[in-house]
């Protein structure tokens, strides 16, 4: 017993003394977007006085971690949980910005075709569904629900709420830069490399379920008189049973597709 009493008490490991230090961040690609009014500066300096994860350093500058694909600390690639505790030069690269090395150290998924969009992105959701992409959307969804759907259904989170993207649980996400839905659509196609996966007219705009071809005879009693006369090809939602045909929907879709392809030079 006496021996036990003499055992020195362990020191608390939380209070590691670190001398104040400073980190310099260099932002590549369009990451300076997140600096707002400071957007003319691609270099930032931060003073720190305790060991801090590189994720927290990056996000304290306003850049959500899902927007960062490669982090170099003093030239070496690191993960988001890397602890910075002395002077450092930090380079940040977004997805899609070429770097000659460290291809295996990329932190983001390059391609994903399944999304969950926050309640403010209804028009973007509609556009993406029009192009055949699977987008979970509920205009009333709370943050907690969005994060749960993202995690359990393995979806990328689309939101213009930076704070939401900064949750550690978010593995894949994107902050649309534009406030215009058509431009946002192009951004998402570019970020997630979706140009080759576009499948127009295959998904319900209302409920996100896949559409299937249906014979005119099977639905004819549900059609308006003019639709009955002018159209022959129909699809029906496998979820909400909404009927689609190549009328005005299709014309608008073709126009939008054309605009998207122009943007990608194809």
Q: Following DSSP, what letter does each residue of 128-183 receive, concatenated?
A: HHHTT-EEEE-TT--HHHHHHHHHHTT-EEE-S-HHHHTSTT--SEE--S-SSHHH
**Sites for Zn ion among residues 224-243 (CB under 5 A):** 237, 239-240, 242
Work out whether 51 is an interface residue with Zn ion (CB under 5 A): no
Choose between 227 and 242: whose C-beta lies nearer to Zn ion.
242
Helix (H) or strand (E) run with residue 223 in it: none
Work out whether 210 is an interface residue with Zn ion (CB under 5 A): no
**Can you say whether the dihedral through the CA atoms of 164, 168, 171, 177 is positive or negative?**
positive
Choose between 44 and 130: whose C-beta lies nearer to Zn ion.
130
Choose between 220 and 240: whose C-beta lies nearer to Zn ion.
240
Choose between 191 and 203: whose C-beta lies nearer to Zn ion.
203
Long-range contacts of 213-216 (CB under 8 A, 24+ apart): 214/243
Choose between 35 and 207: whose C-beta lies nearer to Zn ion.
207
Strand partners, 243: 236
Work out whether 204 is an interface residue with Zn ion (CB under 5 A): yes
Structure tokens at 57: 């350093």
Q: What is the Cα–Cα distance from 20 to 48, expressed in whole angstroms?
A: 6
Work out whether 207 is an interface residue with Zn ion (CB under 5 A): yes
Helix (H) or strand (E) run with residue 156 in it: strand 156-158
Least distance to Zn ion, CB of residue 198, Å: 19
Work out whether 222 is an interface residue with Zn ion (CB under 5 A): no
Sole window of 143-151, 164-172, 190-198, 199-207 interacting with Zn ion (rule: CB under 5 A): 199-207
The secondary structure of 2-22, three-state, reads HHHHHCCCCCCCCCCCCCCEE
Pairing of strands 21-27, 88-93: parallel
Choose between 113 and 239: whose C-beta lies nearer to Zn ion.
239
Work out whether 206 is an interface residue with Zn ion (CB under 5 A): yes
Q: How many residues sit close enough to Zn ion to count as binding (CB under 5 A)? A: 8
Sole window of 119-127, 209-217, 228-236, 253-261 interacting with Zn ion (rule: CB under 5 A): 209-217
List residues near Zn ion by CB under 5 A: 204, 206-207, 209, 237, 239-240, 242
């Amino acid at each position: 017993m006496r021996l036990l009493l003499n055992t020195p008490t362990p020191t608390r490991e939380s209070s590691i003394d670190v001398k104040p230090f400073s980190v310099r961040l260099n932002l590549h690609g369009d990451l300076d977007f997140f600096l707002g009014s400071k957007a003319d500066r691609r270099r930032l300096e931060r003073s720190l006085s305790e060991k801090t994860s590189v994720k927290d350093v990056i996000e304290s500058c306003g850049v959500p971690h899902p927007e960062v694909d490669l982090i170099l600390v003093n030239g070496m690639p690191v993960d988001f949980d890397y602890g910075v505790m002395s002077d450092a030069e930090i380079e940040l690269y977004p997805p899609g910005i070429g770097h000659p090395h460290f291809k295996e150290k990329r932190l983001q998924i390059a391609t994903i075709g399944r999304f969950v969009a926050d309640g403010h992105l209804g028009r973007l959701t509609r556009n993406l569904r029009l192009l055949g992409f699977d987008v979970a959307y509920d205009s009333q969804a709370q943050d907690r629900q969005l994060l749960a759907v993202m995690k359990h259904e393995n979806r990328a989170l689309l939101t213009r709420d930076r704070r939401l993207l900064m949750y550690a649980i978010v593995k894949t996400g994107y902050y649309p830069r534009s406030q215009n839905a058509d431009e946002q659509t192009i951004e998402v196609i570019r970020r997630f490399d979706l140009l080759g996966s576009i499948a127009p007219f295959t998904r319900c705009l209302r409920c996100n379920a896949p559409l299937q071809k249906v014979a005119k005879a099977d639905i004819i009693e549900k059609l308006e008189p003019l639709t009955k006369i002018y159209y022959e090809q129909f699809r029906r939602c496998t979820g909400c049973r909404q009927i689609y045909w190549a009328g005005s929907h299709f014309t608008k879709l073709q126009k939008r597709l054309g605009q998207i392809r122009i943007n990608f030079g194809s």
